[in-house]
Amino acid sequence: MRILLLAILLAIPCLAEPFIHKTDAYEFQFDGKSGGHLKTHGKTIAINRLWSIAFYRHQNVDSKNFLGDDWKGNVTTEFSQDRSSVDIKYDSQRLGLTITLDFKPEYIDFNAHIRKTTIPILYLYLPAETDFPTDDMSKFLFPYSGQEAHGIAFLPSYFGEHKPPHANYAPASTGQEPYKAFLGDTLAMKNDDEPEAQLQLTELGKTWFSKADADYITSALLKVPRPTKDGHGDLELIRNTSGVALAGFRFGGKGYFFRLGSNGNNSMDKGSELTKRLVVATMNGLQLREPELLKGKKIAVVSLANGPIHGCWTPTKVPEWETLFALARFKHLYNAQFIKLDTPDAMREALKSKDVGMILNPYGEYFPSGDKNKLMSDLALVKDFVRDGGVWWEIGGFSFHYVLEPKPYLYHETINPAGVADWCSAQYADGSVTIFGIRPVMRRPWDAERYTNPSLIAIAGKGNAANFQHAWIMATEPGMTWKSQPLRWKFTYKSPQEALDEYAKLLEIKGSLEAKVTRPGVLDKLKNAVLFKFDDRTAEDQIKAIDTLPKNNIVHYAEYLKGGFDKEYPDHLPCNPRWGSDDDLRKLIDRAHELGHLAVPYTNTSWWCEDPRGPTFLEAGDAPLSRTREGKLKHEKYARNEGYTICFHHPAVIAAHRKVRKQMTEDFKHDLLFQDQVGCRGFTWDYNPYDPLKASCREGMHSLSMEDAQHIPVGCEDANDRVLNFETLICGTVWGTVPVDGQYRFRHLKYKFPEGEWQFFPILSYLGHDQCLFTPHDLGHFIRRPEHLCVAVAFGLTMSDTWNCRDHRSAFKKNWVHWLDAVQKTAAADYAGKKLLDFRYLEEGHNRPFPHELLYTRYADDIVIVSNMGDKPIALKGLVDVTGLPREELNWLDGQTLPGYGFYISSPRVRVARINATNQDAIASIALAYRNGQVSGTVMTSNNATIALPVPETWSNTTAKWVDFAGVEQQVAIQCQKGMLTMTTPKADIADLDMPKAYANTAPKSQAGLSNKVAIYAPKSFPDEPFKAQVSAWQTELKRHIADQGLAITMLETPQAMVEAISRPVGDSQRPFAIIAPYHEHLFLAADMDPFEVLGKIKRFVDTGGIWWATGGQPFHYCRIEEAPGQWKKITIGGSGLATIGATTPITYVDESGVPLEATDAGKAWFGEARSERIASYFGNAQRPFLYPEDKLPLVMAGAVPYIAPIRCEGWGYFFNIGGFNVKIEEAADIVSGTLIHLWNNPWEPNNPAKRVTLWRF
């Protein structure tokens, strides 16, 4: 009876009192009200607020204020009989909430139960605020967005106080009043989504801008949602149908306050280049009108140290303004100096200084005061600055709407999905605290029992602690109840890998690539395949491209889509007639299969597109679309393509998706189905009546892919833990990890977190590398250079690049993709689908300065990767013991210095590396496999380079047949002795590529029999009058400069004459000394000429001592074909033309303002003092410098970019280009003449055969 009575008493709820629960692993204390603490590993973790709730349109409540006068809540506790669990119940008239703690020897499970609510609930935080001490913390492992990285580790310094200039900045709202107070009136508020519209010049604008700038501006579209009111400004320069886009104020003084009321446009760069051009064009016009205004003064950009990379409602990133103004033409004409203002105080000092003439605020709606209480006094300084003759720029949105203030503590949050996991772990010297949600993934499509709520994990600095939060996201309405799944805190894991293994087990993340890819032979092909995204626009060209690819890879294409890319979804077929027909798609697939490739189409049923709607959308109407709580549709926009978010549980959406799968698997026999956005779409509230949860983890979309995976392997964009069981190929997840060029470069995590306060940590790889193949984004992120490859292999990625039907003509491109193919078919195939076992920064703990760039990863089956992700060599001495390699191999590695972007990959089956050659200053890229008792592989390096690296002792000597792309075969001995492989690359036997000794000793003018002709290639029958004027100007200017140098100007007036001239052998008196092509990017050809055959002859001309001068842009981007006498057709061959010569350029913007030119030291030696001084007075902009080859000779710089930098192809001549557009002929001719005079009158520098890189296969 006593026992029964005690049990009854123990089960009765009572007013909460403090309690303590202890095990050997931890001690948990509840304070009886709202929080408590947890002790483990000698640390006390404060639980400041046990829970909090965020309501819909109602003030939040938490475990502290719930007990106050507003909520009048009470708290009771109810223990289980054995006190192994406790229900902490919070009750009031408006809310009933139970927090259940289940105590186990090694962990605690936190659970929440909303028993009652009278207010809609969106977030439930449990715990709401927890402080992890940073003393003895090594790092806090944390999930990251599945688009950017597989995970992150925050180091203790991340959680410390950051004082300026080390503090980050965050916006504090100031509203609309500062604008009105400063300018005397409000602005003209338009809709936030104001459409882009054509720009127009006002009457004043027509006189302000140059013709070139005016033409550019009036051809552009801009969104102007915050225009200056008509008539408000002292001057109005640009407007559109939304209102005044660019206005100026003078405040009765001598200077100008300019503001743009725009937020960019819908172009791919969001209007960044346009915004920059508007500012520069305005300043160019100002310099012409008032040439003394800023003369000799300083021109500044406010660029706060650790400030945001990107402002608010402005498309241009802060570093872009710094680069622009450092080189701006108006800056040079004003003889001004560029400075950067990196603190608010520096800005104030500049505003007061008489030496500063112009300041630009690059932050849009953010004003860089550092303190919103100082905003009005700072604006008074701006007004005084303008009155005194200064120029101030505001470049977007609602000026002064926010103030940037230093944020002493940093904050980061991740929502799963699209965050990679609901898992994190605080690592201490004596143990760890690992926290994760136990939310098992779906077992089958539409597994409603496994539908679950998204989670939010947040971490913030707090000085000596890391402040942690966890929340579930929901849509719990009045009258509803809700129960969480467990949130586990475990204290006994010996390693992060052990913790993640258990997380995967509890979530039932399981399976294998073998189970997903069951068709015989396909999985082996997948593991060995590089993904090649075709960038040809037609089926005909894509089929041609297949024939020139390395065999047995993935061909990936999107151009077939019915309406075009991001048009008419969910309808994918019939094929777009601009691309080809359905029969052409079958031919493409058949040809891919004939050559051993896997055919993988791009598909996207994740949103439905507007403008125009496809047949499915027209038939279904708006019923399948997602809804907000208020019943509104959810609009989506990608560049200029628009549409709507959809409800994946709606029958029409399901039917449309299944139709696409049937088409792509039954009607067209594809090998894998790529489905965009499946892994990258985060949670959204969807109040379409067909959605069962309203806030879910995308189970509807995932169910459709799970269905598809029962028919065909599937791939998706990006990933998180909830897609690993059914996806085979993950494209993405590394935008913030693998470097990328262009507008996406700032996505890298190094731009988002302070150096030395974070590391990568691959949570997603630990969970899924043995289940999925990971590669960069399939449409825009590729492995194109060594700096990409070294990171890709460090993170276990498979290879990817683009390809088109002309790329095989480029020796560089062909070498690179065959090198990628070799890496894929050795190292990447070896680690594909293998479990990640270890991941470390090898410099950590060795007192090395940040950033740490040396990574070590280990995969199952004894695969070890050591990779240098930085551009500087790293000596490995004392850093590699932890790799666990065999002693002999470890000793060798310990003695190596990995070059910048170098790596070493070892397994019993392969050796793949980018290392230094042992006998010369050259880097050798080598991929070896040992199969059937033979060594086979690929080497890419210079001639006669000796390579030595350790191999298993089972590898034996062999004599291999080495073959290059020219078909040259050579027998080369490969020595394998005592575990070391040694080989020396052969000499690529290409005739006439080494410069004759006569050129090294004697100037061409003094060599008997050499031609002195400088030929201008300009077909006489080309009818364009501006072209004829250009040719005439080139003749005049060249004669003026070189007539007294013994050089003679001649004309090549037909394509046939040009081809005949370049085909003449070295020493032929009729072979021109140099050829000048005056029509920029165009190559003139006869109708019977193949462009690439002619380009091959031009390359041969240069390889054998010829000089070819291109005169602007990207050479050979266009061809002009004479189809009949005087009738010329223009075709585009793009970068493939220049690639045939062996060079590449960036493809950025054409219309940029010029910057001052400057001869380099080498250029001054070529040009002499007088010409170098003239060059310094010229302007140019290097939008098309040579990126490759690296071995070039910069003679003239445009700022930091080579403007004139000849290359020597593979031989000993010179290929020149003017690396920009809008070239003035008199200036260009002066530079061209200077190079010709130097090369005519001086012996030539010998070419360096060691720089000639050859790819050999053996």
- Dihedral sign, CA of 504, 508, 512, 516? negative
β partners of residue 393: 258, 360
Q: Got the DSSP string for 598-641?
A: EEEEEE--SEEEESS--HHHHHHTTTTB-B-TTS-B-EEEETTE
Q: Cβ(603)–Cβ(658) under 8 Å?
A: no
* Phi, psi (degrees; rounded to nearest 5) at 1172: -60, -40
The pLDDT assigned to 991 comes to 56
pLDDT tens-digit series, residues 916-974? 999 888 899 999 998 888 888 999 998 889 999 999 988 887 777 787 766 678 888 88
Counting every residue written for the chain, the total comes to 1258
Flag whether 363 is in a domain. yes
Query: If we measure between CA atoms, which residue out of 170, 94, 826, 824 comes closest to residue 461?
Result: 170
Statement to judge: residues 956 and 1033 lie in one domain: no
Q: Which residue has the higher pLDDT, 777 or 163?
A: 777
Domain-embedded: residue 741: no
DSSP state at residue 695: B
The reply to whether 1027 and 960 lie within a common domain is no
Q: What is the pLDDT of residue 12?
A: 45
Which residue do the tokens 């001490």 mark? Answer: 133
Residue 117 exposure: Cα atoms within 13 Å on the Cβ side: 25
- What's the pLDDT tens digit per position in 452-476? 999 999 999 999 999 999 999 999 9
Give CA–CA dist 1209/1253, Å, rounded. 11
Name the nearest CA neighbour of 720 among 675, 677, 760. 677
CATH classification of the domain holding 1019: 3.40.50
Residue with tokens 């994190």: 424
- Please state, in angstroms and rounded to a whole number, the distance separating the CA atoms of residues 765 and 504: 12
Residues 897 and 807 in one domain: no
1067 pLDDT higher than 90: no
- Asked whether the predicted pLDDT for residue 773 surpasses 70, the reply is yes
Integer Cα distance of 731 and 738 in angstroms:
13
* 333 and 313 fall within a common domain: yes
- Count of domains forming the chain: 5
Long-range contacts of 1130-1137 (CB under 8 A, 24+ apart): 1130/1082, 1131/1091, 1133/806, 1133/1091, 1133/1092, 1134/806, 1136/804, 1136/806, 1136/807, 1136/809, 1136/810, 1136/1092, 1137/806, 1137/1083, 1137/1091, 1137/1092, 1137/1095
Q: Are strands 14-15 and 74-79 parallel, antiparallel or unpaired?
A: antiparallel
- Tell me if 818 is assigned to some domain: yes
Is the omega angle on the peptide bond into residue 454 within 30 degrees of 0, that is, cis? Answer: no
- Closest by CA to 1087, choosing from 1131, 1040, 1048, 1025, is 1131
Q: Which of 325-334, 682-691, 787-796, 984-993 has the lowest mean pLDDT?
A: 984-993
- Helix/strand/coil for 29: strand
- Say if 631 falls within a structural domain: yes
Q: 786-794 and 811-823 helices cross at what angle (nearest 10)?
A: 10
In which band, very low, low, confident or very high, does the pLDDT at 325 lie, cut at 50, 70 and 90?
confident
Determine, yes or no, domain membership for 265: yes
Tens of pLDDT, residues 84-100:
999 999 999 999 999 99
Mean per-residue pLDDT of the chain: 93
Same domain flag for 1186 and 1235: yes
* 595-653 confidence digits (pLDDT tens): 999 999 999 999 999 999 999 999 999 999 999 999 999 999 988 899 999 999 999 99
What are the C-alpha distances in Å from 1228 to residues 165, 1042, 1217?
45, 14, 10
User: How many Cβ atoms from other residues are within 10 Å of residue 547's Cβ?
Assistant: 11
Looking at the structure, tell me whether residues 801 and 833 fall in a common domain: no
Which pLDDT tens digit goes with each residue over 411-439?
A: 999 999 999 999 999 999 999 999 999 99
Find the distance separating the first CA and the last CA of the chain, reported in whole Å: 88
Q: Give exposure, 1148-1171, as e/b (b: 16+ Cβ within 10 Å).
A: eeebbbbbbbbbbeebbebbeeeb
Residue 671 domain flag = yes
On the CB side of 781, CA atoms within 13 Å amount to 29
In 3-state terms, what secondary structure has residue 887? Answer: helix
Residue 186, domain extent: 171-407
Whether the link from the prior residue into 574 is cis, omega within 30° of 0, is: yes
DSSP β-ladder status, 27-30 and 36-40: antiparallel
Find out whether 1055 and 1019 touch, Cβ atoms under 8 Å: yes
> Are 793 and 832 found together in one domain?
no
What's the pLDDT at 13? 47
Q: Which helix (H) or strand (E) holds 76?
A: strand 74-79
What is d(CA 1220, CA 1145) in angstroms, rounded to the nearest whole number?
Answer: 10
What pLDDT is attached to residue 3? 41
Convert the pLDDT of each residue in 833-859 to its tens digit: 999 999 999 999 999 998 999 999 999
Longest dimension (CA), the chain: 124
Could you tell me the two tokens for 550?
Answer: 């390395």
Q: Which residues pair with 432 in a beta bridge?
A: 427
Does residue 150 form part of some domain? no
Cis check for the bond before 851: say yes or no (omega within 30 of 0). yes
More confident residue, 157 or 974: 157
Beta strands, E only, 918-1073: 923-931, 934-942, 946-950, 958-963, 969-977, 980-984, 1013-1017, 1048-1052
Span 853-877, average pLDDT: 97
What is the structure's pLDDT at 803?
Answer: 96
Q: How far apart are CA 555 and CA 578, in angstroms?
A: 20
C-alpha 958, offset from chain centre: 43
Q: Which residue has the tokens 């470049």?
A: 395
pLDDT tens per residue, range 1132-1188: 988 889 988 888 887 765 656 667 899 999 999 999 999 999 999 998 878 788 887
Residue 200 clears pLDDT 70, i.e. is over it: yes
Residue that the structure tokens 């200084």 belong to: 353
Verify that 1073 and 1161 share a domain, yes or no. Answer: yes
Read off the pLDDT band of 14 (50, 70, 90).
low
pLDDT value for 235:
97
Mark which of 826, 841, 856 sits at the end of a domain.
Answer: 826
pLDDT of residue 971: 84
Would you list the DSSP string of 769-801? TTT-EEES-TTT----SHHHHHHHHHTTPPPEE
Q: Are 104 and 209 within one domain?
A: no
Where residue 990 falls among pLDDT bands split at 50, 70, 90? low
Mark whether 531 and 637 lie in a shared domain. yes
Cis peptide before 417 (omega within 30 of 0): yes
Q: Is 191 a domain residue?
A: yes
Residues 822 and 833 in one domain: no
The reply to whether 310 and 377 lie within a common domain is yes
Rg (CA), the chain: 33
Number of DSSP helices (H) and strands (E) in the chain, helices first: 29, 73
